Amino acid sequence: MRLTDIAHDYLRAELKPGDRALDATAGNGHDSSFMAGIIGSSGHLIAIDLQEAAIRATRARIEAISSLPQAELLVADHSQALKSLCSQYAQTISAITFNLGYLPGSDKRIQTKPKSTLTALRAASELLKPDGLLLVTAYRGHDGGETEAHAVAEWMHTIEIRGWSVTSHEPVVTSGRIPPILWVARNT
Ligand SMILES: C[S@@+](CC[C@H](N)C(=O)[O-])C[C@H]1O[C@@H](n2cnc3c(N)ncnc32)[C@H](O)[C@@H]1O
Protein backbone atom coordinates (compact mmCIF):
# COMPACT_ATOMS: atom_id res chain seq x y z
CA MET A 1 0.00 0.00 0.00
CA ARG A 2 1.37 3.46 -0.92
CA LEU A 3 2.07 5.93 1.89
CA THR A 4 -0.39 8.36 0.27
CA ASP A 5 -3.13 5.76 0.60
CA ILE A 6 -2.18 5.08 4.23
CA ALA A 7 -2.24 8.84 4.94
CA HIS A 8 -5.65 9.14 3.29
CA ASP A 9 -6.97 6.24 5.38
CA TYR A 10 -5.96 8.18 8.52
CA LEU A 11 -7.62 11.34 7.18
CA ARG A 12 -10.79 9.44 6.27
CA ALA A 13 -10.99 8.06 9.81
CA GLU A 14 -10.28 11.43 11.42
CA LEU A 15 -12.17 14.07 9.46
CA LYS A 16 -15.90 14.69 9.32
CA PRO A 17 -18.14 17.24 7.61
CA GLY A 18 -17.71 20.73 9.04
CA ASP A 19 -14.13 20.20 10.26
CA ARG A 20 -11.24 22.59 9.64
CA ALA A 21 -8.23 20.99 7.87
CA LEU A 22 -4.87 22.36 6.74
CA ASP A 23 -2.50 21.25 3.98
CA ALA A 24 0.92 22.86 4.61
CA THR A 25 2.39 21.74 1.25
CA ALA A 26 -0.47 21.89 -1.23
CA GLY A 27 1.53 20.90 -4.34
CA ASN A 28 -0.85 19.58 -6.98
CA GLY A 29 -3.68 19.53 -4.48
CA HIS A 30 -4.16 15.80 -3.99
CA ASP A 31 -4.26 15.95 -0.19
CA SER A 32 -6.18 19.26 -0.16
CA SER A 33 -8.90 17.94 -2.46
CA PHE A 34 -9.09 14.67 -0.55
CA MET A 35 -9.68 16.56 2.71
CA ALA A 36 -12.05 19.03 1.02
CA GLY A 37 -14.19 16.15 -0.20
CA ILE A 38 -14.62 14.91 3.38
CA ILE A 39 -15.16 18.18 5.25
CA GLY A 40 -17.64 19.38 2.62
CA SER A 41 -19.46 22.67 2.25
CA SER A 42 -19.65 23.29 6.02
CA GLY A 43 -15.90 22.69 6.40
CA HIS A 44 -12.92 25.03 6.20
CA LEU A 45 -9.80 24.15 4.25
CA ILE A 46 -6.53 26.06 4.46
CA ALA A 47 -3.92 25.13 1.85
CA ILE A 48 -0.46 26.68 1.60
CA ASP A 49 2.33 26.44 -0.94
CA LEU A 50 5.36 28.52 -1.80
CA GLN A 51 4.58 28.28 -5.51
CA GLU A 52 1.76 30.08 -7.27
CA ALA A 53 1.47 27.24 -9.82
CA ALA A 54 0.84 24.78 -6.99
CA ILE A 55 -1.93 26.91 -5.53
CA ARG A 56 -3.48 27.27 -9.01
CA ALA A 57 -3.43 23.48 -9.45
CA THR A 58 -4.87 23.01 -5.97
CA ARG A 59 -7.66 25.53 -6.63
CA ALA A 60 -8.60 23.74 -9.88
CA ARG A 61 -8.73 20.37 -8.11
CA ILE A 62 -10.82 21.70 -5.24
CA GLU A 63 -13.24 23.51 -7.54
CA ALA A 64 -14.06 20.18 -9.16
CA ILE A 65 -15.60 19.03 -5.87
CA SER A 66 -19.37 19.35 -5.67
CA SER A 67 -19.69 20.31 -1.98
CA LEU A 68 -16.92 22.90 -1.91
CA PRO A 69 -15.69 23.92 1.58
CA GLN A 70 -14.76 27.46 2.52
CA ALA A 71 -11.17 27.52 1.24
CA GLU A 72 -8.21 29.78 2.02
CA LEU A 73 -5.46 29.05 -0.51
CA LEU A 74 -2.27 30.87 0.33
CA VAL A 75 0.90 31.39 -1.71
CA ALA A 76 3.28 31.62 1.24
CA ASP A 77 6.12 30.04 3.15
CA HIS A 78 4.40 27.70 5.57
CA SER A 79 6.78 28.60 8.41
CA GLN A 80 5.46 32.19 8.36
CA ALA A 81 1.88 31.41 7.35
CA LEU A 82 1.28 28.85 10.08
CA LYS A 83 2.68 31.16 12.75
CA SER A 84 0.30 33.91 11.59
CA LEU A 85 -2.67 31.53 11.59
CA CYS A 86 -2.06 30.72 15.28
CA SER A 87 -3.67 33.98 16.45
CA GLN A 88 -6.96 33.04 14.76
CA TYR A 89 -7.08 29.26 14.63
CA ALA A 90 -5.08 27.89 17.59
CA GLN A 91 -6.37 24.48 18.69
CA THR A 92 -9.16 24.41 16.11
CA ILE A 93 -7.77 22.30 13.27
CA SER A 94 -8.69 18.62 13.08
CA ALA A 95 -5.96 17.44 10.69
CA ILE A 96 -2.78 18.94 9.25
CA THR A 97 -0.75 17.38 6.45
CA PHE A 98 2.83 17.99 5.33
CA ASN A 99 4.17 16.31 2.20
CA LEU A 100 7.82 17.34 2.20
CA GLY A 101 10.17 17.66 -0.75
CA TYR A 102 9.58 19.24 -4.16
CA LEU A 103 6.66 19.38 -6.54
CA PRO A 104 7.04 16.54 -9.06
CA GLY A 105 7.69 17.91 -12.53
CA SER A 106 8.73 21.36 -11.29
CA ASP A 107 11.94 23.07 -10.14
CA LYS A 108 13.58 20.67 -7.67
CA ARG A 109 15.41 23.56 -6.03
CA ILE A 110 12.07 24.72 -4.59
CA GLN A 111 11.87 22.12 -1.89
CA THR A 112 11.05 22.10 1.80
CA LYS A 113 14.03 22.77 4.10
CA PRO A 114 14.66 21.54 7.66
CA LYS A 115 14.67 24.96 9.36
CA SER A 116 11.39 26.23 7.92
CA THR A 117 9.80 22.78 8.15
CA LEU A 118 10.53 22.62 11.89
CA THR A 119 9.20 26.15 12.43
CA ALA A 120 6.03 25.19 10.55
CA LEU A 121 5.68 21.94 12.49
CA ARG A 122 5.92 23.79 15.81
CA ALA A 123 3.15 26.16 14.70
CA ALA A 124 1.12 23.19 13.43
CA SER A 125 1.30 21.63 16.88
CA GLU A 126 -0.35 24.79 18.27
CA LEU A 127 -3.00 24.88 15.56
CA LEU A 128 -4.16 21.31 16.07
CA LYS A 129 -7.17 20.83 18.27
CA PRO A 130 -6.77 18.43 21.22
CA ASP A 131 -6.54 14.89 19.84
CA GLY A 132 -6.04 16.28 16.32
CA LEU A 133 -4.02 14.48 13.66
CA LEU A 134 -0.68 15.56 12.21
CA LEU A 135 0.61 13.67 9.15
CA VAL A 136 4.11 14.26 7.80
CA THR A 137 5.46 12.42 4.76
CA ALA A 138 9.14 12.83 3.95
CA TYR A 139 10.96 11.65 0.83
CA ARG A 140 14.57 10.77 1.40
CA GLY A 141 15.93 10.00 -2.06
CA HIS A 142 16.70 13.56 -3.19
CA ASP A 143 19.51 15.88 -2.09
CA GLY A 144 18.72 17.15 1.39
CA GLY A 145 15.79 14.76 1.84
CA GLU A 146 17.50 12.50 4.34
CA THR A 147 18.76 15.43 6.43
CA GLU A 148 15.28 16.91 6.55
CA ALA A 149 13.72 13.55 7.49
CA HIS A 150 16.30 13.21 10.27
CA ALA A 151 15.37 16.66 11.64
CA VAL A 152 11.68 15.74 11.56
CA ALA A 153 12.39 12.41 13.31
CA GLU A 154 14.14 14.28 16.12
CA TRP A 155 11.24 16.74 16.43
CA MET A 156 8.77 13.84 16.52
CA HIS A 157 10.80 12.39 19.36
CA THR A 158 10.54 15.66 21.33
CA ILE A 159 6.73 15.79 21.01
CA GLU A 160 6.51 12.13 21.96
CA ILE A 161 8.35 12.98 25.19
CA ARG A 162 5.74 15.73 25.74
CA GLY A 163 2.99 13.10 25.62
CA TRP A 164 1.98 12.96 21.96
CA SER A 165 1.42 9.58 20.35
CA VAL A 166 3.73 9.14 17.36
CA THR A 167 3.90 6.21 14.95
CA SER A 168 5.57 5.87 11.58
CA HIS A 169 5.16 3.87 8.37
CA GLU A 170 7.95 2.97 5.96
CA PRO A 171 7.28 0.82 2.91
CA VAL A 172 9.62 -2.09 2.35
CA VAL A 173 11.62 -1.47 -0.81
CA THR A 174 13.85 -3.94 -2.58
CA SER A 175 15.42 -1.56 -5.09
CA GLY A 176 18.07 -0.14 -2.76
CA ARG A 177 16.25 3.20 -2.76
CA ILE A 178 15.73 4.90 0.60
CA PRO A 179 11.97 4.64 1.16
CA PRO A 180 9.79 7.60 2.12
CA ILE A 181 8.45 7.76 5.64
CA LEU A 182 5.08 8.81 7.04
CA TRP A 183 4.75 10.00 10.63
CA VAL A 184 1.35 9.96 12.27
CA ALA A 185 1.24 12.15 15.38
CA ARG A 186 -1.61 12.90 17.71
CA ASN A 187 -1.68 15.30 20.67
CA THR A 188 -3.45 12.94 23.04
C1 LIG B 1 5.92 16.95 -2.42
S2 LIG B 1 5.14 18.44 -2.88
C3 LIG B 1 3.53 18.31 -2.17
C4 LIG B 1 2.59 17.41 -2.93
C5 LIG B 1 1.15 17.58 -2.54
N6 LIG B 1 0.87 17.01 -1.24
C7 LIG B 1 0.16 17.04 -3.56
O8 LIG B 1 -0.87 16.51 -3.17
O9 LIG B 1 0.41 17.20 -4.75
C10 LIG B 1 5.93 19.63 -1.78
C11 LIG B 1 5.40 21.04 -1.98
O12 LIG B 1 5.94 21.85 -0.93
C13 LIG B 1 6.09 23.16 -1.42
N14 LIG B 1 7.00 23.90 -0.54
C15 LIG B 1 8.34 23.82 -0.45
N16 LIG B 1 8.81 24.62 0.53
C17 LIG B 1 7.72 25.23 1.07
C18 LIG B 1 7.53 26.18 2.12
N19 LIG B 1 8.59 26.65 2.82
N20 LIG B 1 6.29 26.61 2.39
C21 LIG B 1 5.22 26.14 1.68
N22 LIG B 1 5.33 25.22 0.69
C23 LIG B 1 6.56 24.77 0.39
C24 LIG B 1 6.62 22.96 -2.83
O25 LIG B 1 6.37 24.11 -3.62
C26 LIG B 1 5.81 21.72 -3.27
O27 LIG B 1 4.68 22.09 -3.99
Distance of CA 54 from the midpoint of ligand 1 (Å): 8
Ligand 1 binding pocket (C-beta < 6 A) is: 25, 27-31, 48-51, 54, 77-79, 99, 101-103, 110-112, 116
Distance of CA 139 from the midpoint of ligand 1 (Å): 12
- Domains in the chain, ordered, with CATH? 3-186 (3.40.50.150)
Instruction: List all residues 6 or more positions away from 66 whose beta carbon is below 8 Å from its beta carbon.
Output: none
Distance of CA 108 from the midpoint of ligand 1 (Å): 11
Distance of CA 25 from the midpoint of ligand 1 (Å): 4
Choose among 38, 58, 37, 39: nearest CA to 47.
58
Instruction: List all residues 6 or more positions away from 144 whose beta carbon is below 8 Å from its beta carbon.
Output: 111, 113, 114
CA dist., res. 152 & res. 163, Å (int)? 17
pLDDT tens readout for residues 95-143: 999 999 999 888 889 999 999 999 999 999 999 999 999 999 999 988 8
Segment holding 137, helix H or strand E: strand 128-138
- Identify the residue whose C-alpha is closest to ligand 1 atom 18: 77
Mean pLDDT of 44-50: 97
Taking the whole predicted model, whether its pTM rises above 0.75 is answered as: yes
Q: How confident is the model at residue 41 (pLDDT cuts 50, 70, 90)?
A: very high
